[in-house]
Structures are given as structure tokens and as C-alpha cells.
Structure 1
Amino acid sequence: MAYLLKGVLIVLSLITLSLSQQDDPVSGFCRRWGHTTAQVGSRLYVDGGMVGSVPFASNRTNPWLLYSDLNTSTVDAGMPMQYANLSKPGNIPSVSGGYTWSDNTNQCFYQFGGEYPDGVTPADYSMWTYDVILNTWNSTKTTGDKQFERVSFGAGTHVEQRGLGFYYGGWISNKTTLGWKGPPMATNGLVQFDMSTGELQNMTGPDDSNTGRAEGQLLFLPVSDSGILIYFGGIEDPYHNGSYNAANMSIIHIYDMASSKWYRQTASGSVPAARRQFCADVTWPNDQSSFNVYLYGGYGASASEAPGFDDVYILSIPSFTWIKVFPLDGSDSTPSQVGHGGCSANVINRAQMLIIGGWFPLYDKCDAPAGQGQHNMVLGYNGGEGKLWDKFDPKLDDYVVPSPIISAIGGGPTGGATKTAPASWGHVDLATYFTLKPSFTARAATRSLPSATTSPSPKPSKKTNVGAIAGGVVGGLAVLIIILCLILFCLHRRKNALKEKQAQADEPPPPPPPAELATTVPHEMPATTDASKYVSIHDQADAIALAHYPGHTQHSHSFSHEYNSSYPAQGPPSYGNAPPYTSPVVEAGHNSHSPHAEMYSPDEHAMHNSPPAGWSPQMHYAQSGTGTEGQYSYPTPVTPRHSPNDSIQQQVPIYYPRPTDPSTPPLHTPRSFSDETRYPLHGSPGRDNRRVNDDRRPIHGRFVEEDHM
């Protein structure tokens, strides 16, 4: 029995340890990259991508859907509070390099594209919609062009005013498409998704040469009759044979949505070095005299470039002027230890831009774990500290043009730019487009939106669903196992009791008391009419027997078992060793290497991909069994209703022969025998006070030391 209980407890410990190794994506954050973001209302959702942790030097797919509450800012890190208490079933793709189109009108976002991690078979092409009100996922019903292949690390944007989503370029590979053979190939199509009708269209890219592009940025500007899209950066794939070129950062591709035409414009100024997987977003003053694109970081797009960049540039349009704003001390003359790409950028209320995550080629620490890898730019330098990198302020919603832009294009903090055209336009149409402003009609929701009072929107909680689920499962298993142990123990105890009872039944009865000679001398009693003259000795014996009638003895026993052990758990577990996706790019010529092969090379980036200094969340699941006391009740003794002279059924009268010698009259009382059953009391096992120390070291990793947040 002891071995059985020990085995059960060992199994319980293993189950507890296995479940507890699912690390908390918020409190246990170390770094993330390749994810997508979508702002709907006051929440910035974070989906997919890769996550890394230490000390296991491993990376894995992010299976959680998280969000940053844009109405909050933490005291310590000064970043929005992040939560992971949202639904994401296992059948929803968790991919890297995709895009999410937000739809504030219908309170949802759409998941598009992305690639699967190593070892996972790509699923057929599909789109999914997340309902932010109901906290549910649904398959997106689409119409139009059905000849779509999943692509990854393209460039996406959305136009809320028109309910349109766009995605340009991206890779097709064996990580996106089942049965793909050969090296990854960059595409040249522009995908348009109509959020109102569900129609998907695949349109042509910037030029007729069918040059594929990937890992750049696509942004929307409210210019021309219906708006324009601009695309820049990343890599170019003109040959589709595994060789790639770095895109020139001075070349800006422009798509006019009204005419469906592509144009090309050259930018000037402090042009950034060629790069890929950088992050960028755009804002503008109220008068829209300038549209200012803020760019951060990225990976080097060729072997001659730095592995990663830690810098900020602004592209001011319509002057098409590049302006470098960070760093300005020349510290980027050598490769930065904290340079990184694979990040996301989202402008919030036109005044701030949240940079989230990224992969660090040369840095082996966590990415600001206290703020979950969030870093904030105050785009107008009008935050609490009056500088570019500043704490997030939920109340800041006023964009002012900062002095570096004013110095380049004129005007003032509220706009009024005086330089409103480049040195020369790439096409005469562009000069006209930038003098026009589109007008948009208010969109109507295409779904029934529940009222705020009936909305089952999840309540924010610092604890995650993972911890709650693991705790519930472990607790339930513990209770079931404890009940099983009690049942087994009771059965074992009952079996032993039956054996003892059977053994007692098989024993011979105890010998009767020895027959003692007893004599008595008759006494003469007063003559009465109601009393006999003699009371015989056996009648006295009957009376004595009644006087000493033992009745029934009440037996009781109790037992209690207390299983109250702590099962400490450590995390995080070890995952796969595949680094994030990037593509090796050369300036020209033919490169035979696969972009996946180099980017995912464990040998080259192993020490840099292992997210850092660790955390080891320790969860205790205490199981306690309430003591149980059993009372065995027997009938209560009652006073015999027999007359002292009646025959007693419970005891056979003993007749003693007359003595041969009347001189020996002593009377000996027969010995009394009673059987007493003793039930051993079982004590509770001692508490298991084992602890596993949390040896995680303090983590203060930030990709900037003083000037970054």
C-alpha cells in the first residue's frame, strides 16, 4: 500500500511540474519578435511571433493573444499594462511575419499571412477574425480571388476610413506553403481586402518586371482623391532563384488608390543604410502640411551592413526628406550591441509610437522585461522628460512637430511647413496628388454590435489564463488523487479488519471459569405471608448477575488523513532552438543561400538568440484533504425488565453442588471476562515542506541604457 501511495504522489508531482512549466507570457516575459499588432479602441493587441526565454537558450512560437491597455501606464516601467487573459484556441494559427488588419467600426481584427515554425506542416490558406467584444475567433468568409498562397514578412497596412486592408510582397517558402520546393521566393502582388464585403483581390505591384519584395514597410497617407500607399526598404528579388538585393532606402514606391497606379519617388537628406524588418508608422499635424514617417531599427540588408540597427530616422513627406534624430552623438559608427529588427511600431493618438519587441543579433539579455519589451517614443518631444524616448502617457494626444523636422522643412510646432515638394517629382501626377485631400463618409458596422451593458468583454487581470488553467487542472488532479488514496486506504483497512475478525472467529472459545465449591447455611427468616423461608444460593447468583449486568459497550474510532503538500514548479521549459526569420541579402549578384537557412542558423546566432537572464516563476499548488472522522454507533444499554427471580436469557445459571464438608463455607465470585476491540488511530503524514528556490537573477535588460525607455 505504501508503494502505491508513493507512486501516486510521484505521478502527481510530475504532472504538476509539467503543467507549471508553461511560463507566464507577461510576468515571465524576456523577448519577442516577428509578431503582429492591431489597435482596436484602447487596446493594442499582440498576436503570434516568436518568444524567447532564459536560461534554456531556446525560442518558440508565441501561442498567446495579448493586449496592452492604452489607458494605463505602469509606475516602474512607464509603459502600458499588458494582459494575456484572452482566448486563442489551438486551431488558430500562431505564425511569424503575418499581419493583422484592425477594424474599429466592427470591433474586430483580421489575421493574414505568416509562416509556421520549423517542424510544423503549413496549413492550407485561411483567414481568421478575432471579435474583441465576444473574445472569440471565427473563420473569415471571403469572396473574389481564391488563388492565394500564404506569404510571410511582407508589408501591411489598413485604411479605417474605407474599411480596406492591404498587404504587399512577402515570402513564399516551405514554411508558408505545403509542398513548396526550392528556395524561398519573394512575391510582387498587392492584396486588397474589403472588410465590408469580404472580397479579396490580388493586384499588381510597383513595376512590370515582377520584382519580388519583402521585409519592407507599407503605410497609408490621406492624400489624393482616395488616399495613397507608400512602400520602402527591405529586399528585392528580381531573379526568383534564391539571390536577393538590398532595396535602396531613397526609393519610395507610391500607389494611388483612386487610379490604381504605381509611381516612384526619390528621397534625399540623411538616407538610412539599407535594412530589412525595421518598424515604422506615420503621423501628421492638424494642417497636414507634412506627413512624418518615424522609422526604428532593422537588420542589415547585406553582409556589409551592421547585424542590427538601434537608430531613428524620420521621412518627411511631401518634401521626401530623410532626417536622422537618434543617436546624434555618433555612437552608431560601430555596430550597436542592442541593434535589432523584427519589431512592431504603432502610433497612438498621433502623439506617441510604441515599439514592441525585436530580435537582437548581438545582445543576450532580456528586452526590458519589466515593460514586456515595450518602448515609447513621444513623437513631438513634448512628454514628461521633453525628449524622444519617454514614458508612455495615456493622456497625451497632441502631436507637435519637433524641432529636427522644423529645421528641415520649416513651419512650426503646429505645422505650416514651407518645404512641401522634393527637388524634383518622379512623375507629374504626384505633384497634383499631394495638393488633394480625400473625403471619407462614416462607415456603418456590418454586424450587430452588443451594447456596453451586455458585452461580455473579459475583465483585465494580472494573472493569465495559463496560470489559472494550470492551477485548476493541478488542483482537480490533486483532489481526485487524494480521493483515490482515501478509497484505497479505506479498502485496505477494511480488508485487514475482516482478516482480524475471521482470525478471532477461528480461535477456540475461552475456557469456562473453574467450578468452585460453595456452601451456605440456611437462615431462618421471620414468618411472613409474603416471603419464603429460604433464598437459595443460585437465586442469589441470579440476583448478583443482574446487579453486575455489563450491558453493551459503545465503541468508536476516528481517523483523519491530511495530504497537504506543496509541489513547487519551475519554468520555463526548453523549446526549439530556431532563431527568427530573416533573409541573408547581398548588394548584388547571386547568393545560393536560403534566407531561412542563414537566419535560422543555430551555429551562427545561438548565443544571441537565447533570450536572457531568466525568470523562474514558481507556482505552488497545495493539496489538502479534510480530516474525516467515523463514529460507529451501537444500541444504548437499557435496564433489564426481568424480575430478579426470572430466568436470565443472557447468562446461563451456574449450579454449585453441595459441599461434602460443611465446615468450608466461603463463596468465591466467578471471574469476569470481557472482550475489548481496539482500533488503532492513524496519524496524518507530516507536511512536505520542500521548496525549490527561485534562483533567477535580477533582469534589467533594456535595449537602451539611458536615452531609451
Structure 2
Amino acid sequence: MIRTGLGLLTAVTAFSAVAKGQATWDKNQVNTTLCQWQQLRAHVVRDTVYMDGGRMWWLPGLSDGSYATAVNDHNPLGLVYTLNFSRPFSTTDNLTAIFGAVSKVSEGTAAKNLAPNYVDGAMLGNHEEWFLYGGLLRETKEFSPPAAANVLAYQKYQYGVQKDGFLPGFVYDDLPEDMTRYLAYGASAAAPSENKAWYFSGLRAQGYGPIYEPGFNETLTATNVSNTLITLDMATQLQEVWKNDTLPADIPGRANPELVWVPVGKQGILVALGGVVFPDFSSHLSKSPNEAESKAQSPGFMSTIDIYDVESGTWYRQPTTGGPGQLTRGCAVVAPAQDYSSFSIYYYGGYSGLSQTQPFNDDVWVLSIPSFTWTKVAEGTTGGRAGHKCFMPYPNQMFVIGGYPPLAGGSLTCLRETIRVLDLTTSTWKTSYDPSKWANYTIPEAVVGKIGGSPTGGATATAPSPSGFASTALAAVFAEKYPTTKIVNYYPYKPQAANNNTNPDLPPDTNVDSGGGGVPAFLPPVLGVVLGLMFLTMIAVLILLWRRRKLLRRRGGQSEAGTEDTNGHRIMSWMRGQTNSETKAGTVVSSDETTSSPDDLESVAPVHPQSMAEMMNTEIRHPVELPGAPPFSFSISRYNADQKADTSPRPELHDTGLSHVDVLNRYSHLSKAIASHNSSLHTSDFSGTHQTDHASVTPSSASVGTGTIQARHMSVELPGAPVPPSPVPASAATVRGYIPSGISNISERDRAHLRTISDTTVSSVASAPRDANDAGGAIPEEQEPVTPAGGTLSSPVLPISPPTQGETGASDYISSGAAAPASAKSTPSRAGTGQNSSPTSPLRRSVFHESREDMTDTGVGPSGK
């Protein structure tokens, strides 16, 4: 299982179009060429081959056109090279130009003991990830090697359960207690359709301890045969399971065999080919420790094939016909017939494992199963190679990657082609690879001649001849068809542009400080991603804000003409409060409204604003019906002096969060109105003493002299209240810049009458006695209004305003203070007549005032300046 404590070791830090190649450069070096790549380990993830480790010998190209001596820098940066199948190339090119590279450590950092360079070993994986297992290290005192239970894994893609925040990168994995990574010279195979991979046999140290590249210390050298089969189950990502099985006694272990997975049976089978015992490469002297015994046992690994049934975990041995003889360090791939009636196992290269100075195998052999017949399909002319890997980009093509030629005279010789391309159908070597050119596999004629059928399938030899299967159980395995729908292919590949291979690598800048300064290579892409996400987030926020503003404007309401009602904007905001503008109050009466202009106001003598006394909080959010209370309404009129019709729509006052006093204090300038004036007050009928904060504004008109004055008044009604009467005449007296409401310009007795405790009318001048202790805190029961002697209740009255600042002795704003002497108050005149009426009870100065700024919300004064 992946160690969660370590987590992500490193993300991908380098995917370069041009491989870094040689780590250190000579002074006059201008390029580098891959000369040999001995014993690498590799695996295909979908459309890409990953290649790691091995001995990489580089041939430096100098500025004068010559080449320096080949060097092996031991891959100090811990690079894993990649080759994508979509890249076209010529086999004579310097193919380091088309290699990508992934660093197992932070870019520019030495691998050391975090991810050192291994020679041999295996890369076990599926279509999404791979694990590095086994192999040899260089013995050095510079750093300690990784622990025996430690392996390194690379996760390219996620699969299974969704993993939020998944990023490609390297992670550490721990082996179970009964396993060790101290193995080398084994064979590996993978079955991505089964999410499994295997490592077969190989060599180990005498005490299963650490092993290094061959040296003088025999205890640290892999010389003993391992009789194990390691299984890696990758069914659940991050919970991979390792298993160690001991081989049966009749299945011999060996060094550097080939292992392939074949889709036969319920979960497929493993077929082991070749390998040798007592190889010369396991000794620092490059000499087999027991050449005679090797010659006696090793040829049998090609003539009798070992087979492992994955589903049952059973081993079988099956003899073959013909064969190439003793070979090791070759490579093998499997090409199924189009109908899966037969399978061609191609084996190329390798050598006897006894002498690296002798010619290597350059032939191509095919083992056809289930007939288990060997056929040589191609003979080589290049001298052959060993220690390479083979992969199939397409059903009819095979890549041979890396390796090394024989040591001629004990000197190092470079490969003629770093990668070779074999057409499996024609068994011919090609000089180039084009991902746009491919075909389905057809069986070579030489093989069809032995197994029957046709190039597309239909083999007639369905069992070994003449011996037949070694066991009926093995025959039953071959009779079971594999569910090929589980096999996923990722070809064809879209060709990418070819690279300029003339000078793939440039020498590093010698003026650059090697201390690690400068901008890390991972920073630009990371910053690009972060800044891109920030930009997208900003765009999303702006869109949301724009939509919110548009929605608020739409809810704010518009006039029928499509323009905003800016007159009285502040008062309207109170009326709307927190309620949707489309919600209608129960007392709303539809009306038309036009916006007013500063010229509509009549100039009068200015007055000094008066401060407003604080009122108690009378906030009521919903209409309240008081039991037994008579309906009533009141109006606050604003006059249009030049007698123009005011048709602007009525602001709605519903479920407001502000009280009347809040509106008057915060938004109205009516408190600046003149304390007294000569206009007569005419109001609509008033009955009852109950009040509520539920109100609406409707237009009304009043007659002044010979003209008609438009007025907008605010009506408050309790449920069941009658519709207010028609507009009544009102005074046109105004103040320059302000419009007096006239609401509170009534006598103390009038106020008492409004509270249904007076015996006089609004027009009466009699000063009937009043209970000064009547606080008015409780809402009185309905009372009949009292008329003065010789008079009648000639006109309705408005509710009075809150007390003027400075008045004391009142428990509520209706009874805010005792009546002042009549001589201290001015006598109002009748509206439109200019005649003084009888003396009335003392008048109170209005604290309501209103300016044009309230009407227009434009910041322009009453005079338009």
C-alpha cells in the first residue's frame, strides 16, 4: 500500500521535448548521442513508453566535428525518459531529440539515495501507473541506499474511486515483511486488463541482503538463483497488494529470462522463455562461474516452456518443437491472430550468457501457441544486441529500444540504431516510423505453413504436435477463451510534428551559478494555473455582481414610461423597506404619476429649520387590526403649486422596517418648515384614534382660489377602513425651498379633539378645559366627537405631528405638552380667502419639512441651483 505519510514525493517537474541527455558536458561539447543503453527497465502507459535506469553511455560531440570518448554519468539527476508513440522518427536520427524526461526528484537535484539509478530490475504497471522493483546500485560511501522494503512508484492517471486533488507524480510504497527489493536479473510482465504485473525468478545475494553491481565483495553480489514469483495486484489504486510465491521444485529459476502475458484462459497465462544459469554478467570478471553447467541446463529453457495459469495459480511445463537454443537478455512480445485462434510470441536478440565478446543473436524467432512450434522469421545482419526492451505501438509493429552490442576486442561499441522498428507481418526491419501508417497483424507465411489456417487466423494446429499437451489441465486452460473485451487499446495515434534532430542538446550555460539560483522550472506553469484560476474567479464574481445589480434595479420598480421615479426617492426607499416592490399593500389604489420639476414649487419666505423631537419606536411591520377600532386614515399632502397634474406612480409602503419618525428624521426636510403660516388647514375625514405604520401614497387634489392644486398624500388605513374622501382644498402657501406640511399647525384643543376627548371642532376658538394628566399612553375607546357651542364639525382634521423640540410633560407625541396661551400663537387664515378666523387654541410649529432634494434625489436645491 502506498505510504500516506510520505504522500506525494514530487510532481512532474520536467517534460521536455528534447531530453536532457548527458548530465555533464565537456568544454567544447556541442551535442551528445546515446551510444548504449544497457539493461534498462521500461513499461508502456497507454501511448507512452517510460524508460528508467540502466547504464547509459553518451558520445559527446565536439565543436570541431569530432567525438570524445563515451562516458557513463550514472544518471545523477534521476531522469526517467519517455517516448510517445505519436512521434515519427528515422532510425538513423539522434533519437534523444524526441525523448521526453520525467525527474524522480526535484529538477536540478541529485537523485542520491532518494531515487538512485538502478541497473536491471523491472518496471511493473498497468495503463495508469508503474512501480520500480529490484535492480542493482553502485556501491558507494557517499550516501546510504534505500531500505529493503522501499520501492518507488509513478502515478500518471487515477482510476477507481475518484481522488480529489490527484496530480501525476512519484510516491513511495512499502513491501510486505516477507519481501525484499534485493533482486535482479529477473523477468517481468504486465496484464493491464487484469491490473496485475509479475516479476519472475532472477538472482539474489547469499543471505538475501543488499546487492550491488558486480564487484570484489561476493556477499554483495547477486549470484544465487531466486525461486520466486512476485505478484503486484493493482486492482485498487493506493492500496496495491504485493505477493511472494515460491516456485514449484520442477520450475527452475534463472537469470534474465523473458516473461510474456498471453490472453488465454480466464485471466490469461504467463509464458517464460530463455534465461541462463551461471551467467558471465553476474561476475566482475565477466566470466561464467560454471560454464559447463550453464550449457547443460540453459538450452532447455527454450525447448521446454514454463507456463503459469493466473486464475488457478498453477504452473505447467510444455515441450516445444525446434527453438533458438540458449539465449538470455533478449526481448519478447505477443501478437495475437485476428481471431485469437493462435498467438505468435516474437523473441529477438540476446546472447548465450557465457561471453560478451562473442557475436550476439540478431535473429527473430516466433513461438506459435497452442501448437508450441518455433519458427525463425528473420535473420539479422547488424551483429545483434542484448539488454534491450521491446514494445508494440501497433498490432503489426515492434520497437527494439536500447541495448548494447558485443564487446569487440574489449572496447565499447555504439549501437547503429538506438531504436529499431520491425514489421511483424513481413518480418522486415524498417528505417523509419510513421504513426499514421499501421495495419492489423497478419501471421507470417512461414508460421502459417506450420500451424495452418490463414494470415488472419483459423489455425488448424490447436495443440502441440506430435506429443500433445503435457497435461489435460493445461489443455483445459487453452480451451477457455479469454474475455477480450477487457483489453483496451489506445491506438491509432495522432502524429506530432517531427523535431529537428541535428543538434538536440545544447551545452549548459557555464556562467550560470550551479548553486540552484534562478526561477525553478515548475514555477511558471504553477503561476500560470494559479493566475488563470484567479482570473476566472474574478470574472465569475463580476458576472454575479452584475446580475445582482440588474435584479435589484428590476425589483426597484420603474414608471410606465420606463424611467426611474427619482422624485421622493428617499421617502420611497422607506416605504419599500425590505419588501419586494411588486408586493401590494392592502390600501393601494392604482394611479398615474409624472415626475415633478423644481419649477413646480412656489417660492415663499425661507425659515430656519427646527430640530425634531425624538419619537418613540412605533414600528409595525404588518397591518394590524385592532378589535373594536373604527377605521381611519390620514394624509400628508405635498402640493404642486403650479397646478400641474402629478401622475407619478405611488411608492408602496409594505412591511417596511422604518417607522414614520425614522422617515421624517432621516429623509424628509419637512422639519425645516415655517413654524407658523397663514394657510388654513383642510384635511380629509378623520375618525378613530388608532394608528399603524402601514401606509401608502396616493395622489389627491385640493382647490386653492380658482385653481386646482395636485397633492400627493400618504394614507394610513386599518383593515376595513373606508376609502378616503375626495381631495379637499388646501393652502398653497409654501416656503422657498420647502413645502410646509401643515400637519402639526393646529391648536392644542384640536389635538384633543383628534384624540376624541375634546368638545370643540377644529375651527373653534373656544378653549375647553382638558385633562392635563391624560398621557394618552393607552388607546382610548371610540368616542363621539364633541362640537362647540354654536358650531359643527365642519371639516376633518389631520393627525398631529410629534412634539416640538423643547416641549415637556407629555407621555406621547399627541399630548406632548400643555396648551400655550392663545396670545402666544398666531391665528390661521382660511384657505383661499385671506380672512382671519376666530381665535383658536394655540398653534404648534411644524417640525415637518421637505426640500426638493427629496423630490429629485439629484442634489439640486429648491431654486434649481
The equivalent position to 2:115 in structure 1, one of 74, 92, 95, is 92
Superposed displacement of residue 391, structure 1: 2.8
CA contact (8 A) 2:89 2:434 kept: no
Equivalent residue for 2:332? 280
Written as runs of structure 1 = structure 2, the 5 A alignment for 1:270-669 is 271-302=323-354, 306-327=358-379, 338-363=383-408, 364-368=412-416, 373-381=418-426, 387-389=428-430, 391-395=432-436, 396-423=438-465, 424=467, 425-439=469-483, 470-471=508-509, 474-476=511-513
User: Structure 1's 410 and 176: CA in aligned 2 closer, same or farther, altered over 3 A?
Assistant: farther
The equivalent position to 1:131 in structure 2, one of 144, 151, 155, is 155
CA deviation vs aligned residue, 1:571-604 (integer Å, no higher than 9, x gap): xxxxxxxxxxxxxxxxxxxxxxxxxxxxxxxxxx
* Separation in structure 1 between the aligned mates of residue 369 and residue 186 of structure 2, nearest angstrom: 23
Q: Which amino acid aligns with 2:478?
A: F
CA deviation vs aligned residue, 1:415-438 (integer Å, no higher than 9, x gap): 111112112222121212111112
Equivalent residue for 1:151? 183
CA contact (8 A) 2:404 2:415 kept: no
Superposed displacement of residue 146, structure 1: 3.9
CA deviation vs aligned residue, 1:322-364 (integer Å, no higher than 9, x gap): 1012218xx7xxxxx7232101111222221100111222455
Superposed displacement of residue 397, structure 1: 4.5
| Greater relative contact order (Cα < 8 A, sep 6+) | 1
Equivalent residue for 1:706? none
* Separation in structure 1 between the aligned mates of residue 70 and residue 211 of structure 2, nearest angstrom: 29
Q: Which amino acid aligns with 2:88?
A: S
* Separation in structure 2 between the aligned mates of residue 394 and residue 147 of structure 1, nearest angstrom: 41
CA contact (8 A) 1:79 1:391 kept: no
User: Structure 1's 182 and 413: CA in aligned 2 closer, same or farther, altered over 3 A?
Assistant: closer
The equivalent position to 1:177 in structure 2, one of 198, 211, 220, is 211
Superposed displacement of residue 392, structure 1: 2.1
User: Structure 1's 394 and 22: CA in aligned 2 closer, same or farther, altered over 3 A?
Assistant: farther
CA contact (8 A) 1:185 1:212 kept: no
Compute the TM-score of the two structures, normalised by the length of structure 2: 0.45
Q: Which amino acid aligns with 1:313?
A: W
Superposed displacement of residue 25, structure 1: 13
Secondary structure of 1:252's aligned partner: strand
CA contact (8 A) 1:273 1:305 kept: no
Note the residue ranges of structure 2 that are not aligned, 5 or more in a row.
1-21, 60-67, 106-110, 158-166, 283-287, 489-496, 519-865
CA contact (8 A) 1:166 1:191 kept: yes
For the pair shown, the structure with the greater C-alpha radius of gyration is 2
CA deviation vs aligned residue, 1:123-159 (integer Å, no higher than 9, x gap): 32221112336552211255x4543242111000011
Secondary structure of 2:117's aligned partner: coil
CA contact (8 A) 2:356 2:406 kept: no
Q: Which amino acid aligns with 1:177?
A: I
CA contact (8 A) 1:211 1:237 kept: no
Secondary structure of 1:151's aligned partner: coil
* Separation in structure 2 between the aligned mates of residue 139 and residue 25 of structure 1, nearest angstrom: 37
Root-mean-square deviation (CA), in Å? 4.0
User: Structure 1's 388 and 321: CA in aligned 2 closer, same or farther, altered over 3 A?
Assistant: farther
* Separation in structure 2 between the aligned mates of residue 94 and residue 190 of structure 1, nearest angstrom: 24
Superposed displacement of residue 237, structure 1: 6.4
* Separation in structure 2 between the aligned mates of residue 469 and residue 343 of structure 1, nearest angstrom: 28
Superposed displacement of residue 274, structure 1: 0.4
Q: What is the identity percentage for the equivalent residue pairs of Structure 1 and Structure 2?
A: 26
Superposed displacement of residue 286, structure 1: 2.0
Equivalent residue for 2:133? 112
Equivalent residue for 1:71? 86
Q: Which amino acid aligns with 1:73?
A: P
Equivalent residue for 1:233? 274
* Separation in structure 2 between the aligned mates of residue 86 and residue 304 of structure 1, nearest angstrom: 32
User: Structure 1's 111 and 405: CA in aligned 2 closer, same or farther, altered over 3 A?
Assistant: same
User: Structure 1's 49 and 183: CA in aligned 2 closer, same or farther, altered over 3 A?
Assistant: closer
CA contact (8 A) 1:130 1:137 kept: yes
Secondary structure of 1:213's aligned partner: coil
CA contact (8 A) 2:262 2:268 kept: yes
Q: Which amino acid aligns with 2:55?
A: M
Secondary structure of 2:89's aligned partner: coil
Superposed displacement of residue 19, structure 1: 5.2
CA contact (8 A) 1:110 1:127 kept: yes
The equivalent position to 2:312 in structure 1, one of 259, 274, 280, is 259
* Separation in structure 2 between the aligned mates of residue 24 and residue 128 of structure 1, nearest angstrom: 34
Secondary structure of 1:161's aligned partner: helix
CA contact (8 A) 1:85 1:461 kept: no
Q: Which amino acid aligns with 2:414?
A: C
The equivalent position to 1:165 in structure 2, one of 173, 190, 197, is 197
* Separation in structure 1 between the aligned mates of residue 43 and residue 27 of structure 2, nearest angstrom: 25
User: Structure 1's 53 and 403: CA in aligned 2 closer, same or farther, altered over 3 A?
Assistant: same
CA contact (8 A) 2:135 2:184 kept: yes
User: Structure 1's 86 and 397: CA in aligned 2 closer, same or farther, altered over 3 A?
Assistant: farther
The equivalent position to 2:226 in structure 1, one of 183, 187, 195, is 187
* Separation in structure 2 between the aligned mates of residue 302 and residue 162 of structure 1, nearest angstrom: 37
Secondary structure of 2:104's aligned partner: coil
